[in-house]
Amino acid sequence: MTTDELVRTQGTPDTVVHRARRALRGLDRRFLPVLGTVLTLALMLGMGQQRYSTERVDFISMKLLSNLLVDNSYLLVLAVGMTFVILTGGIDLSVGAVVALVGLSIAEMFGAGLPLPVVLVVGVLIGTSCGLLIGVMVQVFDIQPFIASLAVMFLARGLANVISVNSLKIDHPGFSELAAWSLKFGEGRQLWRINASMLVALAVLAIAFLVLHFTRFGRSVYGLGAGDGGAAVNLMGLRPARTRVWVYVISGTCAGIAGVLFALYTKSGFNLTGIGMELDAIAAVVIGGTLLSGGVGFVLGTGAGVLVYGLIQVLIAREGLDSWWTRVFIGVVLLAFVILQRVLAVRRR
Amino acid sequence: MTPTTPAAAPPGPSRAGDIWREVTHHGLFWPVLALVLLLLACGIASPGFLDVTVRDGHLFGQLVDLLRNSATPLLLALGMCLVIATGGIDLSVGAVMAIGLAVSLTYLDNAADPSNIGTVLTAVLLGLAVGALGGAFNGAMVAGLGIQPFIATMILMVAGRGIAMLITQGQITTVTSPPFKTIGSGFVLGIPTPVVIAVVAFVVVAFVVRRTALGMFLESIGINREASRLAGVRSRQTTWTVYVIAGLLAALAGLVYGAPTMAADANNIGLMKELDAIMVVVLGGTKLDGGRFYLGGLLVGAMLLSSLERAVIIFQLPSQTTPLFKALVLIVVCVVASPTLRSMLRGRRRADRAQTPASPVEPADAVGVTA
């Protein structure tokens, strides 16, 4: 019988109260940035509902959610991978270029007549190997993550350019079938659907949630972000070196998956895809309440951050503003969140 | 001019081996070697490459072009280097380039006489002022609010390009103004104007940083902000100043870069240039951790970057493959300069000499080296 069990058997009602109180106090500290994200999301949804709802159709609907997920599934996957890296206090600038490289590779592999499963797996593995390269540079050669991932970004972008500088169409029948597959719900204006990329993105999010909060590895990831170079993690008997390589492998793999999803979304590969996409992903992670210095944040917050990101674009389109306003608004939202985080950090001290 | 020597002279008798080690351990050894090899390779591949001719009193030749192309990355890297010295980073320089140029050209476009020297001067000053304003915003975020530099400058990076688009109304503003064009394609005393501007900026910054206490303050802030504040360094004001300088230099780089075409393409001017600037700083031997910085290395880094771009064309490779070679150079220089590789090699050599089973210095122990 462990001590934990002993305590539990001795005073069950007490611990429940204690635990609830502790949870509330914990909310103060760690959940506030995420709470800000959720509030923003609610605010934006409320504004949309008020401005764009008609008698027949509500703005807030399953259709909106489904469209947001369909349009941003690749970004969600990228941001989930980025969350791992940022939680350890690192950064991965290569993901946008990897998306382009994977898209072009897929197109090229279909051109060579490879079967669908092989193409998809190799596509994801391209991302994995890019991540592994960054991880090795960061861990073994002690190169700053920023520079290591910058080098891999140039590498992936260069390789993508070597494959083709033109947009390559993907017209493999199996791939098109996969892209077109969807479950439809509702009818008429209320019609919404679930498609493959959405399911993949949500599955990635769910797995990341489980891994980060319920495994040894997840604890190591948070521990690495504590800012002591992994000393504490090492003392706890976890494996900092291995973890640090793994987070980049995870981020690279996510970039590979996102590349496949983006190829499904556009049914083509293009070498200029994903310029600045890494920053979209980082912005989504930051809006989702993860501190860029590492150690603090939630992957579900990242999910909310991606929704905020997508919703900004929807609102701007509905408002009839030019698309460049999107970038300005994203900057403003980013600014608001950064200041919010700062205020919270000051209060904590 | 190299303001400081990165590698301190080892004490004791200076044997040939020691000198050799000192040279190879100098932060600039590998970048300079890479640059020299690259230029020689270009010279062999294209016989006229290293020739410089004088035509109409102006210098012409591939090397001169190379210098001209180095001006923009050098200007950006100058500001970036100072920011990195304080332990920060400035991701917004590309966007600031676009904003500065957009403001200048929009002003010229609306002016009655775009060829008037006074108008051009006002346009240039306006562009620079906007750049300084952007830098002031970054500085306020970093020094005033204490936000991490990466995220603080990312805000302007994301929003800046949108702002530039708003200024140009989403169009590519084109103007004709010969005096303005001179900034990018003219000559001063036979030397291309951008080169002159970049060298003047370099000398001014180097003088201010190395002949006043500012450089020492920057380094002390980069090593330990709190300690230097306690020691009496006005770390907030200094950090702020550095971001303003970086913004100013970025806007100047934007003007130099955009002047030859006189077109403000807000979407593409300065795209990914912040990463080029960071690469120049890193190639120049400055570590991203902050603290020590080498201005002299920037000259080598900027030359290396632009000769890399040129070499790809000379070797008749498709110009889109340039990023591939940038990546290779970056990886090779970083890995070769990393202490880990050095200690691995040294450990092996020592082990060979002692003829014992190799027991090299652990490349990265389980504790994990700080990222």
Every domain of chain B and the residues it spans:
55-345
With 70 as the cut, is the pLDDT of residue A267 above it? yes
- What are A182's two structure tokens? 């969807």
Q: Which of A203, A206, A193 is nearest to A70 (CA)?
A: A193
Amino acid B245: pLDDT: 93
Contact (CB, 8 A) for A261 and A74: yes
CA distance B341 to chain A (A): 7
Q: What is the mean pLDDT of residues A65-70?
A: 90
CB pair distance less than 8 Å for A151 and B331:
yes
* ipTM score assigned to the predicted complex: 0.78
**Residue A233 — pLDDT band, cuts 50, 70, 90?**
confident
Better pLDDT: A187 or A311: A311
CA A250 – CA A262 distance, rounded (Å):
18
Query: Is B163 at the interface with chain A, CB within 8 A?
Result: yes
Mean pLDDT across A239-245: 88
Token pair of B155 as six digits: 């805000």
* Among A85, A92, A104, A150, the residue to mutate for chain B (most B Cβ within 10 A): A150
Chain B partners of A145 at a C-beta cutoff of 8 Å?
Answer: 371
The C-alpha atoms of residue B302 and residue B298 are separated, in whole angstroms, by 6
At the topology level of CATH, where does A30-348 sit?
ABC transporter involved in vitamin B12 uptake, BtuC (1.10.3470)
Q: How many residues does chain A have?
A: 349
CATH topology of domain B55-345: ABC transporter involved in vitamin B12 uptake, BtuC (1.10.3470)
Q: Does any CB of chain A come closer than 8 Å to the CB of residue B335?
A: yes
CA dist B295 and B281 (Å) reads 9
Q: Report chain B residues whose CB lies below 8 A from the CB of A251.
A: none
| Contact at CB, A327 and B158, closer than 8 angstroms | yes
Task: Profile chain B (371 residues) by mean pLDDT over runs of 10 residues.
Answer: 45 65 72 84 80 76 84 92 89 91 89 82 92 93 86 87 85 80 80 89 90 82 80 83 93 90 78 86 82 85 88 82 85 78 70 48 39 36
What is the structure's pLDDT at B133?
Answer: 94
pLDDT score for B362: 40
The answer to pTM > 0.90 is no
Q: Which residues in chain B have their CB less than 8 angstroms from residue A331's CB?
A: 155-156, 158-160, 162
Q: How far apart are the C-alpha atoms of A83 and A90, rounded to whole Å?
A: 10
Q: Provide the b/e sequence for A5-28 (b: ≥16 CB within 10 Å).
A: eeeeeeeeeeeeeeeeeeeeeeee
CA distances to B124, B154, B224, B239, B287 from B88, in Å: 28, 12, 12, 9, 11
What average pLDDT does range A31-59 have in this prediction?
81
Smallest CA–CA distance, residue A201 to chain B, in Å, is 25
Average pLDDT, chain A: 84
Q: Indicate if the alpha-carbon torsion angle A274, B74, B155, B99 is positive or negative.
A: negative
Decide if B370 touches A, using CB distance below 8 A. Answer: yes
Residue A346 CB burial class (10 angstroms; 0-12, 13-18, ≥19) = exposed
Tell me what pLDDT residue B356 has.
Answer: 42
In angstroms, the separation between the Cα of residue B210 and the nearest Cα of chain A is 27
Best mutation target among A154, A312, A344 (most B Cβ atoms within 10 Å) is A154
Whether residue A339 and residue B145 make contact (CB cut-off 8 A), yes or no, is: yes
Higher pLDDT, B342 or A146: A146
Q: Do B150 and A91 touch (CB under 8 A)?
A: yes
pLDDT score recorded for residue A97: 93
Q: Are B341 and B348 in contact (CB under 8 A)?
A: no
Please list, in sequence order, all residues whose beta carbon lies within 8 angstroms of the beta carbon of residue B28, skipping any fewer than 6 positions away.
Answer: B2, B6, B284, B285, B294, B296, B297, B300
Residues 289-328 on B with a CB inside 8 Å of A are: 289, 318, 320-328
Helices (H), chain B: 16-25, 29-45, 62-85, 93-110, 117-139, 149-167, 178-185, 193-211, 214-223, 225-230, 235-258, 273-283, 295-314, 322-337, 339-354
Q: How large a percentage of chain A has pLDDT more than 90?
A: 36
Closest CB to B158: pick one of A88, A150, A283: A283
- Tell if the CB–CB gap between B275 and A89 is shorter than 8 Å: no
Give phi and psi for B357, each to the nearest 5.
-55, 135
Q: What is the pLDDT of residue A91?
A: 92
| pLDDT range class, residue A253, cuts 50, 70, 90 | very high
Residues 76-95 of B with CB under 8 A from A: 89
Q: For residue B314, give every residue at least 6 positions away whose Cβ sits within 8 Å of its Cβ, in sequence order, or none.
A: B42, B45, B46, B49
Supply B52's token pair: 């410089």
Question: Distance between CA A13 and CA B293 in Å, rounded?
Answer: 61
The alpha-carbon gap from A262 to the nearest alpha carbon of chain B, in Å, equals: 22
Distances B270 to A221, B216, B352 between C-alpha atoms, Å: 35, 31, 50
CB-neighbour burial class of residue B39 (10 A; exposed 0-12, middle 13-18, buried 19+): buried
Structural contact between residues A101 and A257, judged by C-beta atoms closer than 8 angstroms: no
Pair of tokens at residue B268: 């593409």
Question: Chain A contacts of B370, Cβ < 8 Å?
Answer: 142, 229
Q: Which chain B residues in 16-55 lie under 8 Å from chain A, judged by CB atoms?
A: none
Mention every residue, 6+ apart, whose C-beta is less than 8 A from residue A70. Answer: A193, A195, A197, A198, A265
Predicted pLDDT at B361: 40
Spell A206-221 as b/e; 16+ CB within 10 A means b.
eebbebbeeeebbbbb
**Partner residue opposite B279 with nearest CB, options A141, A150, A339:** A150
Question: Can you give the pLDDT at residue A135?
Answer: 95
Which chain A residue shows the shortest CA-CA distance from B159? A328
Residues of A in contact with B145 (CB under 8 A): 339, 342
Crossing angle (nearest 10°) for helices A116-139 and A145-163? 150
Confidence category of residue A255, pLDDT binned at 50, 70, 90: very high
By Cβ distance, the residue of B146, B330, B339 closest to A150 is B330
Backbone angles phi, psi at A182, to 5 degrees: -160, 150
DSSP state of A227: S
Give the mean model confidence (pLDDT) for residues A116-133.
94
Report the C-alpha gap between B341 and B346 in whole angstroms. Answer: 8
Q: Which residues of A touch B151 (CB under 8 A)?
A: 286, 292, 334, 338
Say whether B321 and A339 touch across the interface (CB within 8 A): no
Contacts (Cβ under 8 Å, ≥6 apart) of A72:
A306, A307, A309, A310
| Structure tokens given for B343 | 């200690």
Label residue B279 left, alpha or beta by phi (over 0 means left) and psi (-120 to 50 means alpha): alpha
pLDDT > 70 in chain A, percent: 89
